[in-house]
Structure 1
Amino acid sequence: MTDGVLLHLVEPPAWRAALRAGSVAPGPDGFVHLSAPEQVHLPAQRLFPGRRDLALLVVDPARLPEPVRWEPGHPDDPAGSLFPHLHAPLPTWSVVAVLPYRPPTPVELPAPDDALGRAVALYSSVPVRRAVGVGDVPGGVAVLDPDLPHSRDNNRLVLTRPVTAAAVAAAAEEVGGNAGWPHLAALLTWPGAGAVAAELTGLGWNAEELVLMGRPADLPAPEAAVRAEVVDQREVHELWDRGWRRDLAGLGADQLEPVVRQLVDREQLNDRVLAVTDVVVREHGRVVAAAQLRVDGATAAVESVMTEPDARGRGYGDAVLARALELASATGCDLVVLEAAGDDWPRHWYARRGFTGLGSTWSVDRPA
């Protein structure tokens, strides 16, 4: 009855458990309840009244193990309503995007073949799903984590709909002032947001273009002289710690310690909402290169690719990237994405390894 995507509402811990198991299990009645986009408010109101912390799974029907059956739903649904039911487990690799469900705020549902839409969905939804607090602002939401005040990624506006530069500044000042942010920050994800970012620079903000890049997961991985290993995330902490200390060398010692500690500690929050795997290369037992793979259904993101300065030029970047891509493909992902600074060399390095530019988002910030 539909050639478009189907939807499934789930509590965030249940989605994380499904990623671990590889599928969403059928309910007690023997099937997974799905909805067409125009129907999803009905089960939301009946099963989760008033909830705005749910995850909305965007499902590609073509990836399901068997056709859905269109069957009657609840007796209180409008007369004649039929809902798509999957009488089998729902594979996580059939989920092309995971979005926060915050009615009545509208959501953009990316098509399965819309690589840019899927990348934007991932980078705009993960901060919301892992946040301690979320509040509505013009154009999107504010995410807050009072335990990590120095992390801009965990305390900023995430804006997915067009707003003016003045509106961004006003919302950030109001939320940041109330929350005691040491910075004001926002992620602007809508098409054409660069114009607003440029206007904000005239108001004293810093602006950085983030180029979204992607590649099919099944493309050949880069050749690597060594093979990276999967490790517990705690084994990467010293490498991250050294990297942040180099990047923040201008801070005084009294500021540096809490900032570095928070920037390292924040990483474990991602594994609460999607599947995170850390891979490393060692020299003489010491971790000298690492990358992180974040899997969210059929979409995976490569993050935190880094090599110690004294270990560069030995192919370790290719090694950790190749292992991450291998893991993404083995999980069933068809798309691997990443963010690269628009004014820095890594995006060219990634382009030589099969990643193509999809579009851009903009990160803006200024001291509070």
Structure 2
Amino acid sequence: MVHESVDEAKVVEKVEIIVRKIQLQKSQAIDAELKKEAINNIRIVKVLLLGTSNSGKSTVAKQMRILHTEGFTEAEKIHYKYMVHSNYIDFFSQIAKGIAKFGIKVAPKERELVATFEQAYYGQFMNLDQADDLISLIRTFLEFACVKEVINERLNELDVPDNTEYLLENAQRILTEHYSPTHDDIIHARAATKGIYEIIFAFREFKIRLIDVGGQKTERRKWIHCFEGVAAILFIVSLSCYNQVMEEDSQINQMSDSIEMFKTMYRNRFLRSSSFIMFLNKKDIFAKKIHQIPMEQFLPKFGDKMKANPNLSGDELYAAALDFIKQMFSSVRRQDKRQIYTHVTNATDTRNIDFVFNATCDIILAKNIKSAGMN
């Protein structure tokens, strides 16, 4: 009887050992699966591309298409062809208004077309044959003496789009019947982003999900739907917008709007764990503009700073103005110790964006791996 009890106890003990082994194996399998899932999760990195209208954020998105995907389809190139032509109409309106503003003499035979372009928008010309009539009108307008005078002598006094100089320099090539846009043309093509667009591409052993959302005030309510699982905010700022007002509200300075938007994002509770990277963009335009249009006229506090160094010029003025804008954005941190990684960029320069984006991704991926406990 005692012997049977001992044997029975040994059997129970063996069963318990086997059960514990099975449970341990299951636990290890679950741990391995969880670890595998964690690895897979960190290998898909979600980056939200934000910025106000005309900041250049969609230009950054197009650069990613060129650098990290197969580029643009033939159908997309046709779309960009029409967009590039429409961009001529966009700045022709400003030139025509400039002719009137500056009191430039207009030849009788030129008056009708100048008046047409003064109130022009691209939709007016959609019934024209794109490869013939519209291109002919654009080329004719550019040959007018009054137009040449504005372009050659007064263009910097007008609020023309940033791609105007590029379009003028390349007009002879672009304004041809069999024109097909190059990568540079697509990069310089300008149109407001409506809705939400996603680009997925491989970067080293990771996949980047870059989400580009519209920067207009009417588009911003859609952003909240994109906040879940965001590894980083890539916030684009136009350095050259300090003297410009919003298209939607002429009472609001674009730089002030950009700072306010950045503050809202930085302090958003859903983005507390996200990295913040800022591209201070359009450095080339900014470097020219600060010598033509004093920044202190639009940002009075910079004027206070300039009083201590009234003779700044050239590179020193550029450095002081750039540092001032950096400080305006970094001030939103208050006591928050989260770092803001800042880069100065020119989004139309593919090599510059390639270098800066690689450095940006290194920051994002390193933090993503660390936060997942995979280092």
Could you state the TM-score of these two structures normalised by the residue count of structure 2? 0.28
The structure with the largest strand share of the pair is 1
The structure with the largest helix share of the pair is 2
The higher-RCO structure (CA 8 Å, 6+ apart) is 2
